[in-house]
Every structure is written in C-alpha cells, then in structure tokens.
C-alpha cells in the first residue's frame, strides 16, 4: 500500500530545468479494479542538455481509497497499490494511450 498526494491542477511544479503540471486526473476501469492516472504536461526549457516539451501520463496505482484524507498542506491523499506486473503495465499503457492519443510516455510509480 502506498500514498498518493494529489497536486493542484494546472499549477506549475518547477525544477531548475523546467516544470510540469497536472492537467487532469482520471480513473481507468481495468480488470475489475480502478487505476488512478494523471494526465500531465512538461516544459523542459532551461536544462543543461537542451529543451523540449511533452505530454505524459503518470500512474500512481490501483485505487484502494480515493481522496481519503488531507495532509498537512491541505492536499488530498489517496491510498493506492502500485502496479507491479510487467504485463499489467503494458496493457494499462496501451489502454491509456488509446484514451489519450499523443500522450506516449506513461510512467508508473
């Protein structure tokens, strides 16, 4: 079991090399379970090694308790279970890419 802290939507999360933001949160029904995923975008504008931008999807895991409580910063926290199996990861990636064309990078927590 792991915790996922929900970041505010459309708010820059900045590093020195660029930033990313969560555009939307979604739930994917998958084999009688629910997958929490985040549709995100990034701009890498000042990295030492170049620049670029991308849309990508981040998958915290299977939802066991969605937005169950708030943390000290007032952000929602969900309980999730990581997606560990390679076959599951491949299938979830395929489904998410089909649902969000153009978002090719799918990262799992």
Partner 1 sequence: MAEGIRDKVVILGMGCTKFGERWDKSGGDLLVDALTEALEDAGIEKKDLQAAWLGVHIDEINIGKGGTYASNAMHLPFIPVTRLDNFCASGTEAFRGAAYGVASGAYDIALAIGVEKLKDTGYGGLPDSPAFGQEMVMVGPNATAPGMFAQLATAYAAKHKIPMERVKEAMTHVSWKSHQNGAKNPRAHLRKAVSKEQIAGAPMVAYPLGLFDCCGVSDGAAAAVVCTPEVFKKLKPNEPMVKVKALQIAVSSGEEAAYDRWDGASILTTRAASKRAYEEAGIKDPRKEISMMEVHDCFSITELCTMEDLWISPDGGAPDDILNGFFDLDGQIPCQPDGGLKCFGHPIGASGIRMIFEMYNQLLGRWPEDRAVKNPKFGLTHNLGGVPNNNVCSIAIFGVD
Per rule CB under 8 A, is residue 93 in the interface with partner 1?
no
Closest to partner 1 by CB, 1 vs 48, is 48
SS3 label, residue 45: strand
Binding residues for partner 1 restricted to 43-62, rule: CB under 8 A:
44-51, 54, 56, 58, 60
To partner 1, the closest distance from the beta carbon of 55 in angstroms equals: 9
SS3 label, residue 1: coil
* DSSP per-residue string spanning 55-95: EEEEEEEEEEEEEEEE-TTS-EEEEEE----HHHHHHHHHH
Stretch that binds partner 1, among 7-15, 27-35, 61-69, 87-95 (CB under 8 A): 7-15
Closest to partner 1 by CB, 32 vs 48, is 48
CA dihedral sign, ordered 17, 26, 97, 80? positive
Of the candidates 39, 34, 40, 22, which has an alpha carbon nearest to the alpha carbon of residue 76?
22
The tokens of 99 are what?
């649902």
Which residues here bind partner 1, judged by CB under 8 A?
A: 4-5, 7, 13-20, 22, 38, 40, 42, 44-51, 54, 56, 58, 60, 105, 107, 109
């Amino acid at each position: 079991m792991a915790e996922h802290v929900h970041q505010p939507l459309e708010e820059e999360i900045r590093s020195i090399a660029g930033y990313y933001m969560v555009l939307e949160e979604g739930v994917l029904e998958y084999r009688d379970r629910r997958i929490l995923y985040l549709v995100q975008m990034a701009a890498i504008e000042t990295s030492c090694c170049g620049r670029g931008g991308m849309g990508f999807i981040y998958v915290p895991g299977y939802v066991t308790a969605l937005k169950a409580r708030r943390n000290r910063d007032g952000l929602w926290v969900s309980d999730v279970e990581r997606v560990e199996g390679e076959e599951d990861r491949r299938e979830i990636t395929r489904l998410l890419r089909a649902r969000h064309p153009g978002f090719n990078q799918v990262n799992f927590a």
